[in-house]
Structure 1
Amino acid sequence: MASAADTSPNLRVRRSDDRGFSDMGWTDNWMTFSFAEYHDPDWVHFGPLRVMVENHIQPHEGFSKHPHRDVEIVTYVASGTLTHADNFGHTATITAGEMQRISAGSRGMIHAEENHHDTVEHNYQMWLVPDRAGTTFAYDQKKYTPEERQGRFRMYISPDGRGESMAINTDAFIYAGRFAPGDVVTHALGKGRGAWVQMVHGALTVCGTTLEAGDGVGITAADRLEFRVAEDSEVLLFDVRMDVPRLWT
């Protein structure tokens, strides 16, 4: 009988060019999972991670007011500045290396996301399905400097807001880090959990698979991930419970 140590990880690789794509003129949408008019039955979600869209918003453009409800929205800005405004009175700027977390709540909220500046804004936005009904609106954002993120995964989000992280209404830990060539970093993965690794830029190898800018991979049946970095890299890491109840699919 094979031991747990003999079990090979299960990998689902999503190459950058295989993602869904739409060009709206003022922004592009690179969609890892089915979203809006793009639908691929093989790519719907990874645990509670339901939406992942990479955007490059042109100067003085953006998403005008629009509603959301029953969703946890996480936005990570890679470069530029994103300005947020919502109907609960929050106005904020999110800059490079900063992560924003919004619980839209069961009653919903309305917000706008715009680039008010003269340079292109680059972000990843993720939607996660809450694991409970009746959530309320909540807003938070957190930033680490490049030095604080260098050579390690910094935890921005956790289910219970542990340490200095932001709390989220589902069983997910979300990290971001910057790495240099030659760095070797590990991450422990608990039983019943999966990891989604998303390359913002650079190149590295994880579980024997090489990832480059825009690539992602879902990993299950692993207890430890080892990252070997080949180029200056920026990486998002999602550690999620795979059997978490989902309010919508």
Structure 2
Amino acid sequence: MRELDLDGARALLLTGEDYAILTEADFGAPGLQATEVLGPFVPLHACGPLLTVHDARMQPHLGIGHHPHRFNERLFYILEGAMDHDDALNGIRGRMERGDLGRLTEGRRGMLHQEWNHGDSPARAFILVYETEPVPERASFAVLRDAEAPRYEEAPGVQSKELVGPRARFTLHGDIRLYLDSALDEGAALEQTLAPGEGALLYPLEGELALAPDGPPLVAGECLLLVPGPGERRLRTVARRRSRLLRAVFGPGRGLVLGRPLPRPGG
């Protein structure tokens, strides 16, 4: 984990060495693997309201069986394939396909859910888990379909798909303020402004970006976290080659929480 000062903004650059690779031994679920970027099994336990960040892959005709959660909310952005949601406690079922954003709200009552890939090809989801405030009484499930997500030119050479934000109008129960999937042409520049108290997550899926003015490159599979802090801050990124970038902006939450990774179930 490398700490950076990007034009006055405190940031953490995370690479594969900082992640935990969770497998069948950890989940008790064949065919499921998740790269934990943030969460209980890595040194970075929380940033803002974020409690877990996973890049998860599920093999065909496999998944994770029914298990409980309470109080938080999770977003599943389906990058490949499809996943079926089944909350046995509340009688809620739904399907998330490629390009969809699923919202799984656990609520005070909780949920007993399974996520399954019934398809013939692998599925992949980028998962954010965050605190809810106030905590809803009951669990719920909603999907923003790929075709419904607003798309626009955010800057010259930057085409963005808004998953959460003023255009998308997809209701959440936690302090995730903006969530975008952006395609950047080579040489395209993107500037992200953070209001006082806001933090941000940048996760390239493809390509390479330069963190201007003096920061290191950010390549696919790495993660940049801007820690919530006082004052307005700006981050400028420039695509060194054609790139695809996931970007989330969130509120102050817990700030930055670091600690010793918990023992993994798989040993």
Which bracket does the TM-score occupy, shorter chain normalised? Answer: 0.7 to 0.9
3-state DSSP of counterpart to 1:217: strand
C-alpha spacing 1:74/1:172, structure 2 compared with 1 (3 Å): same
2:88 matches 1:83: no
1:48 CA displacement: 0.4
Residue 191 of structure 1 is aligned with which of 185, 196, 203?
Answer: 196
Q: Give the RMSD, CA atoms, in angstroms.
A: 2.6
Cα displacement (A) at 1:192: 1.2
| Cα separation, partners in 2 of 1:225 and 1:93, compared to 1, 3 Å | same
Q: How does 1:207-246 map to 2 (within 5 A)?
A: 207=212, 208-220=215-227, 221=229, 223-243=233-253
* Alpha-carbon distance in 2 for matches of 1:83, 1:133: 24
* Structure 1 stretches of at least 4 aligned residues deviating more than 4 Å after TM superposition: none
Change (3 A) 1:91 1:133: closer
Structure 1 unaligned residues grouped into runs of 5+: 1-5
* CA distance in 2: counterparts of 1:243 and 1:85, whole angstroms: 29
SS at match of 2:64: strand
By how many angstroms is 1:243 displaced? Answer: 4.1
Q: TM-score, normalised by structure 1?
A: 0.83
Spell out the pairing of 1:1-249 with structure 2 (5 A cutoff): 8-24=8-24, 25-35=30-40, 38=41, 40=42, 42-87=43-88, 88-144=90-146, 148=151, 151-158=158-165, 162-173=166-177, 174-207=179-212, 208-220=215-227, 221=229, 223-243=233-253
Alpha-carbon distance in structure 1 between the residues aligned to 2:129 and 2:75: 6
Deviation at 1:135? Answer: 4.0
Q: Tell me the equivalent position of 1:3.
A: none
TM-score normalised by length of structure 2: 0.78
Q: State the one-letter code of the partner of 2:203.
A: Q
How far 1:72 sits from its partner (Å)? 0.8
Per-residue CA shift, 1:13-61, capped at 9, x if unaligned?
11134201123251212101233xx2x3x31011100101111111111
Q: Distance in 1 between matches of 2:206 and 2:7?
A: 30
1:164 and 1:147 mapped to 2: Cα distance? 6
Tell me, in whole angstroms, the C-alpha distance in 1 between the residues paired with 2:130 and 2:57.
21
- Check the 8 A contact 1:54/1:122 in 2, yes or no: yes
Deviations 1:199-244 (A, max 9, x none): 2232222342322222111114562222212333332212111246
Distance 1:147 1:7, change over 3 A: closer
AA aligned opposite 1:148:
R
The runs of 5 or more residues in structure 2 that have no matched partner are 1-5, 25-29, 260-267
Cα distance in 2, alignment partners of residues 204 and 122 from structure 1: 23
Mapped to 2, the partners of 1:84 and 1:170 lie a distance apart of 20
Partner deviation per Cα, 1:72-102 (whole Å, 9 max, x = no partner): 1111111111121223343332222211112
CA contact (8 A) 1:55 1:122 kept: yes
Question: How far off its partner does 1:120 sit?
Answer: 1.0
Give me the whole-angstrom Cα distance separating, in 2, the residues matched to 1:34 and 1:163: 30
Following TM superposition, by how much is the alpha carbon of 1:149 offset from its aligned partner in structure 2, in angstroms? 6.8
Per-residue CA deviation, residues 154-201 of structure 1 (Å, 9 max, x unaligned), is 33225xxx4432122222122222333222222221011111112223
* Paired residues of 1:103 and 1:135 also in contact (CA < 8 A): no
Amino acid at match of 1:31: E
Rounded Cα–Cα distance in structure 2 between residues aligned with 1:138 and 1:91 = 10
CA distance in 1, matches of 2:253, 2:92: 33
In the superposition, relative to structure 1, how do residues 135 and 66 fare at CA in structure 2: closer, same or farther (>3 Å)?
A: same
> 1:205 and 1:69 mapped to 2: Cα distance?
39
